[in-house]
Amino acid sequence: MNREQPSMANGLELVRMASTWKSLEPCTTETVSTLLSENFTGRSAAVLWLDDRVETCLYRQGTFTFFQDEPFTLRHVQRMRVFNADREFHLVRGSGNTWQGRLRIDGQGEEWDMVIARQLLFGTRKGNAEPESPLFTSITEDRGATLHLPLKGLEFDEKGNLTNRVFIKTHNYIQTNQVHQAGYVDCRFVEFCAYRGENNNFIPLELAGEPGRA
């Protein structure tokens, strides 16, 4: 059950929603690959912190797809978030070939107080990425950095400027301790969205690729 409260003055939304989580004991890269395949069967987004950079990519049928479609192994990943509207795996590499983290699933389990936030992403206009990818849209700013996002439906004006800025939606979970102090205990990525119109009208953005296709 999701009971939304009036939006706060700073744009955050306080809601009460069923959610459950499961801790992942230290496990191998092979086990991580299996768990991802079992828990994410359609299209999902992923943010990977690699040895030398951060990448946003598409996860489908057990495969990570990057903007450059380069060969990939989890060996170079230090941290990852694989997510969709219902769930997220948050995993961090430990010593050696081990991983730790948790699986968070919304819509089932006990009810939690949480704050819904939307973080504005870098990028105000279309990037000049070469070669272009059918699965990714590149956005950039005058400061030079470029994001390659596995999204379709981004709108640009005749000058290449984004009509609506891109945000990432997060759920931020609250618990109260034994002395009745409330604080955040978990956060998960939910989806990419765009701000359109008034009254905090955020529209989810669809991931690229056909459903169920690799």
Q: What is the pTM of this model?
A: 0.89
> Percentage of the chain with pLDDT > 70?
90
pLDDT at 92: 96
Give domain limits for the chain.
3-120+166-207
Stretches in the chain below the pLDDT threshold 70? 1-11, 130, 197-200, 210-214
How many CB atoms lie under 10 A from the CB of residue 92?
A: 15
